Amino acid sequence: FTQPCDVARRTLATQAIVYTQAPAPAGTPAKVTVNGKDLAIDASFAANLAKEAVAAGYPAAGDARIVKSGFMSALFGAQSLTVIAILTVLVIYVTMVYGPIAAALVELFPTRIRYTGMSLPYHIGNGWFGGLLPATSFAMVAGTGDIYYGLWYPIVIAMMTFVIGMLFVPETKDRDILTHDGG
């Protein structure tokens, strides 16, 4: 992405700055306005934007209150350890879901199509919906300027999954799993 609009969006998203887009006549050079000051999108744009963002109340890049996940020295600070503990708890929740999911999926399909019946939806869900999550979420953020707008993608997918599951996944309680196998 080398066009000024793309450079501006990428820089704003990288620095976690919320923005809005305003229409302009064709041929008008792209610009970013921070606190009433117009910034040209040139080689010094990122540095100028960071300076103006701090003046507008955004935290500075060296602010100690911000977790810097890219530096090993910051990894063992109190705030980083709290973030790691929270992520560990979330991973434990995921394992609690993935453990019984295999047993639940086994009950849904007769043995002759069980592997395909389990594999196809699993890989579509993880591969397509999960694999496209970063690109889709970033496109949503870049299109709106709201850094949280990309969260709507997994929320909508989860709601669709719930509705489809409630409408089309059959109840398997008291059903003989050998009934559909001809045995």
Tell whether 161 and 127 lie within a shared domain. yes
Which DSSP category does 112 fall into? G
Tell whether 9 and 38 lie within a shared domain. yes
Tell whether 177 and 120 lie within a shared domain. yes
Please state the pTM of the whole predicted model. Answer: 0.60
pLDDT at 121: 83
**Sign of the alpha-carbon dihedral angle for 150, 147, 26, 23:** positive
Three-state DSSP class for residue 23: coil
pLDDT tens-digit series, residues 14-56: 888 888 888 888 888 888 888 888 888 888 888 888 888 888 8
Mean pLDDT of 2-7: 84
61 assigned to some structural domain? no
pLDDT at 183: 46
Tokens in use for 53?
């963002």
62 assigned to some structural domain? no
Q: Which domain holds residue 26?
A: 4-55
What is the total count of domains within the chain? 3
pLDDT tens-digit series, residues 160-171: 999 998 998 887
23 assigned to some structural domain? yes
Tell whether 87 and 143 lie within a shared domain. no
Range list of H helices, the chain: 4-14, 45-55, 78-108, 114-123, 133-144, 152-168
28 assigned to some structural domain? yes
- 21 φ, ψ (degrees, to nearest 5): -105, 140
Tell whether 115 and 166 lie within a shared domain. yes
